[in-house]
Structure 1
């Protein structure tokens, strides 16, 4: 999205220049799509905005996944997107969890399969003593009619394994209606279920980790007559609401008039050119799903304790950590044991949109309890990251640090110019000092600590591959290999290398070579606690380093001595540790 916006912004500025100055080159290096008309010919703002919306729909995370990602980021949990859809890693290394929409690392595949089989779901719930409608699975229209007559009208007909309300028909009272409904449902599933029809309002109860966290009353797509305009015109007006968009891009979805809509209208004796009376509510869909243009009203504070208990027990009966319970009740504030009603479906991967941004009522941060479940308070979410850069010595330093950490019993993920290593085993043989190799290590669920050689080529190409590190080290900055990729001076090179220490976490440590003036010049950009290393100790110690130590700063220096040419002295918070014989 950013790349497309950047390219189009340059095209816009170019179009505003005098003709003699127009003609920007190299735009394809930013973003290229030969099928996108906005990139060709004179700049067209409408075409540019259309291109941006297209990229947003194709690449942006959906509202459920986005809410979880934003909640993770608020908590400082690292986020890595693993594909172009909704597969996201939260945390790094051994502490990672994964989500795809509201499916989590803790979601049982058996439970997901059970929820996808509506007949099995109903059987499991009935065995748990929960209120569910009577029903039968059928394979033909004739069987559907016979089942409806045995169950008793009115009935519901729906695909056995459908979703988003597709192919669902409710409140059917005749054999002809059941036959048409079977034909509609069979487009979405080879097997169809016929069941008794609960009377009441449609509710979605969201259960996370065994607790009810949100309740929404769902209202089917509808229009309200004004005595003047047709149903088509009223739908057009409703769709002008800026909160409505295509698919899941906005709070609500635009209403579409399709064959199902025509059938619902016909059942009410209406057509698209009918003019409803003033105040007449015309429903356009049998189901209340937001994906078909429905709206949602928050009822979290209104649910009766009995109804909440039923929803909690239903989620446990199926075995889902995150479950959307479709619940029909005449009055959600009263127990269905008194009013009638009950559970018509249990959904794995329920959407959060109706709770995050209801059409009416209070918004609920339903991502919070999911994150509490995945990462309980005090649970680690990130492995330590040590990023090492510099002109010379970074490969040797990275391997030495990795060796020391392995000796402490840690499983080390190491990247260097010779490859990617996990616990000493080389898993990739290549120049692996860029962001791609860093992501390989951070995605490995066996790694305890990451030691990452970080070269300037990868930084210039696509950044670091991580947002924060615990230790950032600059070995030195020398005028080697200048003139590549726009880096023409040693100051340019220092600016690139500084990215590593700028990424140090506020509780981390930046380590600079005190004997390298360019490295020292980056101290004001360094994040976290500042440390130095130096071969100049004793009387040769630079004044700035002496002041740093006297102020309680951290440093490792070599001082002149008689044993093997000197001794290493570690200065930390005013204390000195002498390591003789090094």
Structure 2
């Protein structure tokens, strides 16, 4: 600690506040695993580390003694306490409290870090792991409140009460013991899972391999089998027809019918609901008509359909046999809820002592359930000769329930290896007769170790979705690992649970690259699920239209049961907002890193942007691949973050430093995709070690516009590298690239070419300066090639350009500057969503950059502002002559393409013919007043006429550019 820290003259004010909170649901910039991210502000407490707050450490440890086990950076138990005594800041303390609170709730979380927000004194990034995001966020909130309370006591705040409330919330959202056991086994086998609701519905596996569970009911559990098991009368008849031992029984609807049935069967009898569960409404050992009538009402209350069963009372011990996949897996003897006298305490006191066992909780939240004392329990105690305030003699067992269900407070004794083979066969046959894959067979017999056909006994019930906790956490005996056969049932050894995931990111090119990869894999018969800035596509069908490049969209793809291959376009915003949304990707593709989206969410430099994009590289496993652009210095550095192998792609010519680097990589057995120039053109070559495999001539790939769209050459090389990495054959990759075009069907909004009345129109999504640079270079090459084969004379270039309102002012001006180098006429429009900008503000900055370039001799001769997208398109088309090239950088590509399609079907008023070709200077007499801005600033009214209205300024930024 610094020696010049101030000594407090009094208690510091409790000013620790949470400024922002995020939940990362996958790999993120802070952690490989899901994490909570809190941005906290210490306020005046920045001046008061823990060693300057009297008694802070001691009071905190008194409230949460578990903190003594935290190692912190010291690596030994007690390390965190040492840090507090030496002095550490309260943001760091909040991190450890949040972790300890989750441990108090049974969530074993130990990962965390705290880092100061750069350039903002007193603000800290607090990151820590979580098991349940609701519990994790609540832990952070309570941690901050506790820190403030310890600095200066908060009136009315009781930490013990707050902790109990927190623990109850954690118990409500936690998985039950049965679900938790299955998930623990699945995770140990590297089977991913997704929680589908707030209860116990969970998906195991991904896509086509996915299986679902709800508690212990699985995707393979037949609905008919569940219906049969729920109908106890039908179950007994089926088992009886198979010769299995079952009690005599009848189904009744009235108390008199119940009495009559009991007389026919013979006392003692059992009365229970036809379709009940958990032992509710079951009355045993009924000896008289009056007892049957009273029990009938109890049972009917628990029957969903009003039917009640009367059956013969089978004496003996209560055993639960668990059958999974037709085979016995575990047997537990269930002992009803009871207390044992000690000669000192009353029955009521003994119940309280028993319930104080930390293993007991409410319902199924813990391995044992608290004993509930109701009128039935009091009556049972009275029948045994005691009252609740009586003191039973030493060693006397007093029952508080007749049934041995765990949910009524019973305990379990493991008897798995004591069962007689005949009894095992009977239980397995019962499960097969009902048809359940996971079944709980309730046996009543004198001893499970002796054959019931000789000693007497019967199957009294068959249960669907049986609870596991009596087997996984028996009160007496060894626990049985019964989740293993359940997971085996869903995923037999060697069966896949994951679909291959290819993640694609970069400043430019990620959308087109993703589409190319999806197209290649579709050609080999895969059902591809793809996320992109246009939406979610499953097997070439758009199933969700939105900017779907975030983690929620990724989870939607992985939940789709048709998907057997996933291609995820991963945007910067999604990574910063929620992480990846999955734990790992088999292949990571990074196209390039350029200065875009800077100044948003704390990303101020291109190096920071590269760190964000590198998250998908960090998510590559040891047997995976990272396909990286060797021509980009920042992308090359990402190789150090990859646990798997690297596949380079480069357009650098042989003999250059980058190419030498890639060639050396291949000589060591690595993989790469390179460009080999020749007098016939450029050949894309895949290299693996010393092997070189020719893939395709670039000018024969439709997406490259005869080899002039070099950015799509790079995208094709990246896609080829990814497809090769997942094992796709050379022929299939070649065929996929040769059949992928930039048609609107295959690549909507990305380099779509339309001929409108002999005007060459190209529709693209270019929204940033790096994209405009490569788009402009393409326009130059394309125009030169077109001029060489045209006799129309001079070909002019017209462009409609725009950028998103959340870019920096200098980025907007740079876009205009670059566009002015390549277009004769520029029309500047604005997106429908202004993103916090005033109408005309964004367009003004872009036009300013273009005019500055014009003043320095750029190609452009005219800049106009028409803010409405459709009006801008109509305006530029009215300006163009046949043979010209028009590039439209779109926001709503569907609307623009529809407008262009309309123009092709009917001649536009004022369309000029080839005879009137001239310089594309504006003829004011042919245009409306609103478009007559001819290189000058539009008035506020002009801009207002074209503005589409106010839009949410907080709307998320579009990702994408010309190469996407």
TM over 0.5: yes
State how 1:327-366 maps to structure 2 within 5 Å: 327-366=443-482
Q: Secondary structure at the match of 1:524?
A: helix
Q: Secondary structure at the match of 1:177?
A: helix
Distance, in Å, in 2 between the alignment partners of 1:312 and 1:579 is: 58
Pairing 1:315–2:431 present: yes
The residue number in structure 2 matching 1:494 is 610
How far is the alpha carbon of 1:318 from its aligned partner? 0.5
Q: Secondary structure at the match of 1:55?
A: helix
How far is the alpha carbon of 1:396 from its aligned partner? 0.9
Distance, in Å, in 1 between the alignment partners of 2:144 and 2:156 is: 13
Structure 1 range deviating more: 353-362 or 255-264: 255-264
State how 1:460-475 maps to structure 2 within 5 Å: 460-475=576-591
Distance, in Å, in 1 between the alignment partners of 2:695 and 2:204 is: 41
Structure 2 gaps, min length 5: 1-134, 699-964
How far is the alpha carbon of 1:18 from its aligned partner? 6.8
State how 1:102-121 maps to structure 2 within 5 Å: 102-121=216-235
Q: Secondary structure at the match of 1:301?
A: helix
**Selected match of 1:11 from 122, 145, 150:** 145
Distance 1:580 1:207, change over 3 A: closer
Length-normalised TM-score, structure 2: 0.57
How far is the alpha carbon of 1:580 from its aligned partner? 5.6
1:447-493 deviation per Cα after TM superposition (whole angstroms, max 9, x unaligned):
12111111121122222121121111111121211111222222222
The residue number in structure 1 matching 2:194 is 80
**Selected match of 2:667 from 550, 554, 560:** 550
How far is the alpha carbon of 1:16 from its aligned partner? 3.9
Q: Secondary structure at the match of 1:156?
A: strand
Distance, in Å, in 1 between the alignment partners of 2:290 and 2:340 is: 29
Q: Secondary structure at the match of 2:251?
A: strand
How far is the alpha carbon of 1:52 from its aligned partner? 2.5
How far is the alpha carbon of 1:268 from its aligned partner? 2.1
Structure 1 range deviating more: 475-484 or 105-114: 475-484
The residue number in structure 2 matching 1:23 is none
Contact 1:202 1:327 in 2 (8 A): yes
1:313-333 deviation per Cα after TM superposition (whole angstroms, max 9, x unaligned):
000000101100000110111
How far is the alpha carbon of 1:147 from its aligned partner? 1.5
How far is the alpha carbon of 1:443 from its aligned partner? 0.9
Contact 1:556 1:568 in 2 (8 A): yes
Distance 1:51 1:485, change over 3 A: farther
The residue number in structure 2 matching 1:29 is none
Contact 1:515 1:535 in 2 (8 A): yes
**Selected match of 1:534 from 650, 657, 663:** 650
Distance, in Å, in 1 between the alignment partners of 2:497 and 2:444 is: 39
Pairing 1:275–2:391 present: yes
Structure 1 range deviating more: 249-258 or 323-332: 249-258
**Selected match of 2:357 from 238, 241, 248:** 241
How far is the alpha carbon of 1:69 from its aligned partner? 1.1
1:178-231 deviation per Cα after TM superposition (whole angstroms, max 9, x unaligned):
222112111111111111111111000000111000000000010001112111
Length-normalised TM-score, structure 1: 0.93
Distance, in Å, in 1 between the alignment partners of 2:164 and 2:691 is: 63
Distance, in Å, in 1 between the alignment partners of 2:679 and 2:159 is: 75
Distance, in Å, in 2 between the alignment partners of 1:266 and 1:452 is: 67
**Selected match of 2:284 from 142, 163, 170:** 170
Distance, in Å, in 2 between the alignment partners of 1:406 and 1:580 is: 19
Q: Secondary structure at the match of 1:207?
A: strand
Contact 1:202 1:218 in 2 (8 A): yes
The residue number in structure 1 matching 2:136 is 2
Distance 1:87 1:312, change over 3 A: same
1:135-159 deviation per Cα after TM superposition (whole angstroms, max 9, x unaligned):
1111222222221121111111111
Structure 1 range deviating more: 192-201 or 9-18: 9-18
The residue number in structure 1 matching 2:500 is 384
Aligned length: 561
Pairing 1:48–2:152 present: no
Structure 1 range deviating more: 545-554 or 475-484: 545-554
How far is the alpha carbon of 1:239 from its aligned partner? 0.9
1:431-458 deviation per Cα after TM superposition (whole angstroms, max 9, x unaligned):
1111111111111111121111111211
Pairing 1:229–2:229 present: no
How far is the alpha carbon of 1:568 from its aligned partner? 2.3
Distance, in Å, in 1 between the alignment partners of 2:696 and 2:382 is: 93
The residue number in structure 1 matching 2:888 is none
Distance, in Å, in 2 between the alignment partners of 1:391 and 1:262 is: 72
The residue number in structure 2 matching 1:135 is 249
Contact 1:208 1:323 in 2 (8 A): yes
Distance, in Å, in 2 between the alignment partners of 1:117 and 1:534 is: 68
Distance 1:463 1:44, change over 3 A: farther
Distance, in Å, in 2 between the alignment partners of 1:44 and 1:434 is: 40
Distance, in Å, in 1 between the alignment partners of 2:648 and 2:311 is: 74
Distance, in Å, in 1 between the alignment partners of 2:447 and 2:152 is: 67
How far is the alpha carbon of 1:17 from its aligned partner? 4.2
Q: Secondary structure at the match of 1:106?
A: coil
The residue number in structure 1 matching 2:270 is 156
Structure possessing the higher radius of gyration over alpha carbons: 2
Distance, in Å, in 1 between the alignment partners of 2:668 and 2:156 is: 62
**Selected match of 1:448 from 564, 589, 596:** 564
How far is the alpha carbon of 1:41 from its aligned partner? 6.7
Distance, in Å, in 1 between the alignment partners of 2:399 and 2:148 is: 50
**Selected match of 1:560 from 665, 677, 685:** 677
Distance, in Å, in 2 between the alignment partners of 1:551 and 1:44 is: 65
How far is the alpha carbon of 1:43 from its aligned partner? 5.4
Distance, in Å, in 2 between the alignment partners of 1:500 and 1:400 is: 19
Distance, in Å, in 1 between the alignment partners of 2:673 and 2:147 is: 52
Contact 1:563 1:580 in 2 (8 A): no
Contact 1:329 1:340 in 2 (8 A): yes
Contact 1:11 1:43 in 2 (8 A): no
The residue number in structure 1 matching 2:721 is none
1:211-265 deviation per Cα after TM superposition (whole angstroms, max 9, x unaligned):
0000000000100011121111000000111111121121111111112212322
Q: Secondary structure at the match of 1:65?
A: helix
Contact 1:419 1:426 in 2 (8 A): yes
Q: Secondary structure at the match of 1:373?
A: helix
**Selected match of 1:406 from 522, 525, 531:** 522
Distance 1:507 1:43, change over 3 A: farther
State how 1:92-107 maps to structure 2 within 5 Å: 92-107=206-221
How far is the alpha carbon of 1:176 from its aligned partner? 2.2
Distance, in Å, in 1 between the alignment partners of 2:262 and 2:556 is: 56
Distance, in Å, in 1 between the alignment partners of 2:547 and 2:310 is: 61
**Selected match of 2:326 from 193, 210, 224:** 210
Q: RMSD of aligned C-alpha atoms?
A: 1.6
Distance, in Å, in 1 between the alignment partners of 2:680 and 2:581 is: 43
State how 1:12-51 maps to structure 2 within 5 Å: 12-17=146-151, 44-51=158-165
How far is the alpha carbon of 1:116 from its aligned partner? 0.4
Structure 1 range deviating more: 484-493 or 382-391: 484-493
Pairing 1:61–2:175 present: yes
Contact 1:102 1:349 in 2 (8 A): yes
Distance 1:12 1:491, change over 3 A: farther
Structure 1 range deviating more: 208-217 or 481-490: 481-490
Structure 1 gaps, min length 5: 20-39
Distance, in Å, in 1 between the alignment partners of 2:690 and 2:181 is: 46
Distance 1:188 1:42, change over 3 A: same
**Selected match of 2:421 from 305, 327, 330:** 305
